[in-house]
Amino acid sequence: MAICSQAEIQMLEKAFGAPLPGEYKRLLLGEYPQVEEHMVGSDFDMRYLPDLKGSAANLLDECGDPFVLGEKDFVFIMHQGYTFLYTSCNGSDDPPVYSYLEDNPAPRREFDHFSEWIALCRREIEQGQFT
């Protein structure tokens, strides 16, 4: 099952002003259904995607964090309003993934490639660890 249609992806890219990474678009188009089906409690679909960067900026502000998301940073998931993951739309099809956790000093690089995040999600699901 797809998270977004091709038309919705194009709308997101137009609103964001940059192409989304190819690996992320594959997730949106439903190539990794086992990942999306196990993201309970997280905001990651078209109901939330257009506003996630603003929500993440609000969280940073509320926490008094001096870090500011860059122009090309795309927040692709937020969990329970206290943590989010983002990547850069810098032209790479498989860019790094960064995380921010409420009240931590700054975001950190979690994965060198988006595909590594997908692979970890899939492994955790197979092992029954991902909820």
**pLDDT per position as a tens digit, 72-111:** 999 999 999 999 999 999 999 999 999 999 988 789 999 9
* H or E element that contains 98: strand 97-101
Residue type, 131: T
Instruction: Find, among 25, 75, 86, the residue nearest to 48 by Cα.
Output: 75
CA–CA separation, 93 vs 22, rounded Å? 4
Least confident range from 3-7, 25-29, 30-34, 58-62: namely: 30-34
Only one residue has tokens 């690996």, namely 23
CA–CA separation, 87 vs 109, rounded Å? 9
CA–CA separation, 10 vs 30, rounded Å? 15
Q: Where exactly are the structural domains of the chain?
A: 6-126
Residue 71, both tokens: 């122009």
CA–CA separation, 84 vs 55, rounded Å? 9
CA–CA separation, 75 vs 16, rounded Å? 11
Q: State pTM to two decimals.
A: 0.92
